[in-house]
Amino acid sequence: MNPQRYIYPYPHPAVTTDVVLFTIQMDTLSVLLIERKNPPFQSMWALPGGFLDISEDLESCAKRELQEETGIEGIYLEQLGTFGAPQRDPRERVISVTYFALSPSDHLCPRASSDAAEAAWFPINELPELAFDHAQIINLARQRLIAKLGYSTIAFQMLPETFTLSQLQSVYEVLLNEALDKRNFRKAILARNIIRETGETARHGNHRPAKTYQVLNPRQVEIIK
């Protein structure tokens, strides 16, 4: 334990970051959760996250906690919102700045750590009871995710660098929870002029191989419109 004490003339809340990391597993939208090792809410499932270091950027904190608790890194984070209801944490007043992020399917192997007894993917419709107000946070993240599908390019974040149009369509279908017409989908995606053929093809079974595509400007994977 740190022997030093930090003294302020007015009470200060604690600040944490939490991350809602989505992926698609077996055609199901899933969220990464950790099992809490310590109180409060010990052994309950929660979002990965933790306290902000005093000289650390908010987004760096979110990335660091994600890395520490789950071993996952190299992911684009977007700020989701800040939660600060006075009683949301029983220990002290805590303001949580939340982020959401997407990961390619089956790309990541979460692992346990010092703060997390376990880390695992949960289908969004089969979430366990969650610590703090994390159920509410996930809810907001899911709404935001679906809303952004229409006007952003976030769907590509759920795919590897090169992908087939069928894979891309499948991402949309899972997120929107409805079947899409193949020809219309391809027409619309190609009309947006954000992906190009790689020239390669991919075989995914005993059938015709598919052309693979990649995003034209990789830096644009999250830009609005």
Partner DNA sequence: CCGGTTAGTGTAGTAAGTACACCATCGGTT
Partner DNA sequence: AACCGATGGTGTACTTACTACACTAACCGG
Q: Does 207 bind DNA (CB under 7 A)?
A: yes
Q: Does 91 bind its own copies (CB under 8 A)?
A: no
Residue 118 bears catalytic tag: yes
Tokens, residue 85: 């209801």
Q: Does 117 bind its own copies (CB under 8 A)?
A: no
The single residue of 59, 68, 78, 118 carrying the catalytic annotation is 118
- In this structure, is the dihedral angle defined by the CA atoms of residues 135, 140, 141 and 145, taken in order, positive or negative? positive
Residues written for the chain: 225
CB 91 within 8 A of CB 40: yes
Q: How far apart are CA 61 and CA 53, in angstroms?
A: 7
**Beta carbon of residue 80, minimum distance to its own copies (angstroms, whole number):** 10
Per CB under 7 A, the segment of 3-11, 69-77, 119-127, 209-217 that binds DNA is 209-217
What DSSP state is assigned to residue 52?
A: P
> What are the C-alpha distances in Å from 124 to residues 24, 121, 143, 180, 189?
10, 9, 12, 21, 26
The residues pairing with 213 across neighbouring beta strands, listed in sequence order, are: 163, 197
- Residue closer to DNA, measured from CB, 1 or 191: 191
Location of structure tokens 């809303």: 147
Q: 1, 91, 114, 183: which one contacts DNA (CB under 7 A)?
A: 183
Q: Does 196 bind DNA (CB under 7 A)?
A: no
Summarize as ranges the residues that interact with its own copies (CB under 8 A): 1-2, 4-15, 51-52, 54-58, 79, 81-82, 84-86, 93, 95, 97, 147, 224
Active site residues: 118
Summarize as ranges the residues that interact with DNA (CB under 7 A): 164-166, 181-184, 186-188, 191, 201, 203-211
